[in-house]
Amino acid sequence: MAANMSLHVDVLEASSTDLCSAAGLARKIAMDRAADRLEREGLTNGMILTTDADSVVAPTWLATTWREFALGADCVAGYIDANPGEFSGLGMDFRHRGFLEEHYHAVVAEIFALLDPRPHDPWPNHQVSSGASLAITLQMYRMIGGLPSRPTGEDSALALAVECAGGKVRHSMDVCVSTSCRLDGRAAGGAADAMKLRHAVVDTQCDDELESAFTITRKAWIKGHLRRASEIGFMEESAILRGLDLPSGEMAALLRTLQQGCFEIFWQQLCAVNSSLQYRNPLRPSMLPAEIARAEALLQFLRAQPYPLEAIDFFMEDGVTFEARLHSLHE
């Protein structure tokens, strides 16, 4: 293939011993080599892009990634779609489930985009930072010390490191790859195992983040208010943070984390110590149509508001109030 391409292609071979038999560590070796080469050739404004062996990038993959960098991004996470030929071969029930989950994922992303807006990552966007389509500038790659050395989860760790270095991560819907829907993979507990279970048991639970419309909206509402309080230096006085009823020791530790690190790490640690913010009740596919209808009713209201975060405040007393006020939108 390399002989027929207009691009210069280098092939790097390494043994499983060198890679410690882990995809994340293999990716780090490749990205570190790419960074070294850019520096050797004096391309200090260069960019590093990575995908996966089971993925096919769109013909516009390079162009759309470069466009996002030109608009100010330091890291670009592309949108991952299923290989259409393989997806269609998995049966009508599996396809229907997939369409419902994809629809609700998009609804969840828009709720977060409205209630916890990021100017550098505007809607439309998504919420996944996957090595199947991940790009970063050389300057930012060096600033964060390279790809975090992890056997798995190195892709999301990279995006978090960029955030904590003050960089801008763009979750672009225009940068696309299609990924295999194979049911037998080499990584235990990976995407193939998840799809195999869902193919065998169609109504098995969805991804953890696909919870009820109220739960999702509550999390986005809390995160949006806390991010804004952090940005204006008002976190210690935040009524929403106090309303989570954290023990004083945990509260002090979280505030120290915020002072020393970045908001995203603060948020992760807050979710870890507060049970109401943890993933506890993922939906099943049979529950998705009703929740999609609730969430879309809420979105119709939020889209019409000049300040969605303030407009949602009167919805968020509790789940009963949320449902009642959602119902009133139809009247």
**Are the beta carbons of 327 and 298 closer than 8 angstroms?**
no
pLDDT in tens, 122-168: 999 999 999 999 999 999 999 999 999 998 899 999 999 999 999 99
At 97 the pLDDT is 95
Peptide bond into 124 cis (omega under 30): yes
Distances (CA, A) of 275 to 50, 209, 221, 225, 269: 36, 14, 16, 19, 11
Q: Give the number of other Cβ atoms within 10 Å of residue 14's Cβ.
A: 11
Could you tell me which of 298, 62, 86, 120 has the C-alpha nearest to residue 195?
86
d(CA 218, CA 267): 14
Share of the chain above pLDDT 70, in %: 97
Block residue for tokens 């393989």: 86
What does the block give as tokens for 134?
Answer: 């991940």
This prediction has a pTM of 0.92
Q: What is the mean pLDDT of the chain?
A: 93
Q: Calculate mean pLDDT across residues 231-260.
A: 92
- Which residue has tokens 């640690």? 269
Q: Name all domains of the chain by residue range, CATH numbers in brackets.
A: 2-200 (3.90.550), 213-329 (no CATH)
Split at pLDDT 50, 70, 90, the class of 3 is confident
